[in-house]
């Protein structure tokens, strides 16, 4: 069940355990308050206090746990088609190399815009039901000027966090001419995409684009006024993390293979390391060593990476369970990574927390504590998502 935020005041009352992410409001880094209420006015948190606050409208949390809405900082929701056969083959031993991006590009190019938009809406509804209230959406399955531009029109209609990923994979028609394709991405394609994009991204990986090509895309995106993000170190060690840090990217995403040098570079920067454990799950990659990264002082985020190839899930709860079980993050760290961590990856300070002035985006669990998100994997524990998706 979902609740819109009205222009009137709303109180979430009778909260057993509230995560604010504001240490000034409560215990520890999560700013935990027991027996609490949150008042939301015009979509923003007006106050956090003891249970019993009064407002025009009341949602009784019935002693359940309440968290900030999840911030999913990495998705590829604009796509058509299905790659379940590729997944099935992978489970039988075929490796993942990203080549299936071309399959999705073919399907996406051949799908009418209104149908693509309908598919994105369905995925957003699914994500919202699963507790996500802020979401980033990339292009990257158009890979020509017209289809990248329309992918971004669709993305921008649903979220301010839209990302131009023309440098996702070399399209078949440019085989053997990757520099020509990068020239197109940095010129005509960027020009068509930029009006509907906030960010630019590139896939820096063997089999995708090399460090010079990715640097060219980031430089061109910056010159066009876009913020920078990068896919890096997903399928093996490589220069992605170093490039992201040197360029001042807001986030470098995947980070499955990191050297000590990569971790030191991240620790000395304000680039967020975004882990995508559902992709490592679905591609049978090892999980990143998040413990080592967090202990070095790096800011980390966890995101779904929803896409039809490497990670067909919108479930942030699933990512939390993987991060705790297989990446050795504490449950508190995982909760931070899907709220304030995701917000940091998007350079936002208005979401991912429940503190006066922040967005009134909240999740009411069907559980007394947030620990259940890892303790009860696969169980739909999101009772209410409060706040619209796409702000």
Residues that bind ligand NIG (CB under 6 A): 76, 98, 100-101, 104, 203, 231, 234, 279, 305, 307-311
Q: Is the dihedral of CA 189, 194, 198, 200 positive or negative?
A: positive
Q: Which of 287/375 has CB closer to ligand NIG?
A: 287
Q: Which two tokens stand for residue 215?
A: 């640097």
* Residue number with the smallest Cβ distance to ligand NIG: 309
Least spacing, CB of residue 95 vs ligand NIG, in Å:
12
Cα angle 97, 101, 102 (rounded to 5 degrees) comes to: 115
Q: Which of 22/205 has CB closer to ligand NIG?
A: 205
Residue 268's SS3 state is coil
Least spacing, CB of residue 87 vs ligand NIG, in Å:
10
Least spacing, CB of residue 145 vs ligand NIG, in Å:
20
On whether the CB atoms of residues 302 and 337 are closer than 8 A, the answer is yes
Least spacing, CB of residue 229 vs ligand NIG, in Å:
11
Q: Which of 10/230 has CB closer to ligand NIG?
A: 230
Least spacing, CB of residue 234 vs ligand NIG, in Å:
5
What is the maximal distance between C-alpha atoms in the chain? Answer: 67
Q: Which of 230/374 has CB closer to ligand NIG?
A: 230
Q: Which of 103/369 has CB closer to ligand NIG?
A: 103
> How far apart, in whole angstroms, are the C-alpha atoms of residue 314 and residue 132?
9
Q: Which of 307/355 has CB closer to ligand NIG?
A: 307
Least spacing, CB of residue 309 vs ligand NIG, in Å:
2
> How far apart, in whole angstroms, are the C-alpha atoms of residue 242 and residue 222?
17
Q: Which residues pair with 19 in a beta bridge?
A: 32
Q: Which of 79/370 has CB closer to ligand NIG?
A: 79
CA dist 232 to 218, 256, 319, Å? 13, 8, 19
| Phi, psi for 210 (deg, rounded to 5) | -85, 175
Least spacing, CB of residue 369 vs ligand NIG, in Å:
31
Least spacing, CB of residue 317 vs ligand NIG, in Å:
19
Q: Which two tokens stand for residue 210?
A: 């090399």
Q: Which of 311/358 has CB closer to ligand NIG?
A: 311
**Residue among 255, 230, 111 nearest 167 (CA):** 230
Q: Which of 101/302 has CB closer to ligand NIG?
A: 101
Residues whose CB is less than 8 angstroms from the CB of residue 87 and which lie 6 or more positions away in sequence, other chains included: 282, 312
Least spacing, CB of residue 56 vs ligand NIG, in Å:
43
The alpha carbons of the chain give a radius of gyration, in whole angstroms, of 20
Q: Which residue has the tokens 């919202």?
A: 128
> How far apart, in whole angstroms, are the C-alpha atoms of residue 188 and residue 191?
5
Q: Which of 21/271 has CB closer to ligand NIG?
A: 271
Residues whose CB is less than 8 angstroms from the CB of residue 187 and which lie 6 or more positions away in sequence, other chains included: 220
> How far apart, in whole angstroms, are the C-alpha atoms of residue 48 and residue 24?
11
Least spacing, CB of residue 308 vs ligand NIG, in Å:
6
Q: Which two tokens stand for residue 98?
A: 């990203």
> How far apart, in whole angstroms, are the C-alpha atoms of residue 129 and residue 165?
27
């Amino acid at each position: 069940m979902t609740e819109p935020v009205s222009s009137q005041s709303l109180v979430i009352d009778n909260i057993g355990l509230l995560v604010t992410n504001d240490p000034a409001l409560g215990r520890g880094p999560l700013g935990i308050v027991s027996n609490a209420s949150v008042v939301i006015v015009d979509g923003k948190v007006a106050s956090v206090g003891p249970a019993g606050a009064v407002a025009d409208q009341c949602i009784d949390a019935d002693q359940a746990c309440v968290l900030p809405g999840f911030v999913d900082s990495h998705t590829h929701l604009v796509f058509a088609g299905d790659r379940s056969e590729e997944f099935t083959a992978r489970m039988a031993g075929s490796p993942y190399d990203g080549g299936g991006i071309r399959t999705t590009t073919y399907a996406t190019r051949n799908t009418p815009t209104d149908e693509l938009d309908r598919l994105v809406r369905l995925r957003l509804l699914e994500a919202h039901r699963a507790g996500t209230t802020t979401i980033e959406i990339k292009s990257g399955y158009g890979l020509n000027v017209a289809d990248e531009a329309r992918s971004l029109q669709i993305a921008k209609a649903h979220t301010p966090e839209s990302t131009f990923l023309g440098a996702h994979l070399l399209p078949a028609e440019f085989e053997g001419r990757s520099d020509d394709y990068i020239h197109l991405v940095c010129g005509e394609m960027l020009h068509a995409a930029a009006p509907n994009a906030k960010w630019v991204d590139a896939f820096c990986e063997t089999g995708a684009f090399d460090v010079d090509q990715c640097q060219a895309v980031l430089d061109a995106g910056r010159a066009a006024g876009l913020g920078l993000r990068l896919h890096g170190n997903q399928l093996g060690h490589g220069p992605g993390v170093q490039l992201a840090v040197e360029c001042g990217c807001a986030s470098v995403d995947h980070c499955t293979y990191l050297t000590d040098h990569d971790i030191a570079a991240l620790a000395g920067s304000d680039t967020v390391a975004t882990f995508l454990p559902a992709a490592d799950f679905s591609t049978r990659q090892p999980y990143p060593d998040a413990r080592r990264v967090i202990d070095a002082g790096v800011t980390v985020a966890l995101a779904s990476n929803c896409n039809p190839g490497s990670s067909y899930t919108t479930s942030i709860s699933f990512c939390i369970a993987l991060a705790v079980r297989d990446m050795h993050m504490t449950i508190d760290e995982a909760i931070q990574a899907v709220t304030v961590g995701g917000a940091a990856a998007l350079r936002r300070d208005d979401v991912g927390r429940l503190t006066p002035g922040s967005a009134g985006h909240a999740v009411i669990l069907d559980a007394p504590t947030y620990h259940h998100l890892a303790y009860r994997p696969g169980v739909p524990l999101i009772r209410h998502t409060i706040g619209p998706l796409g702000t």
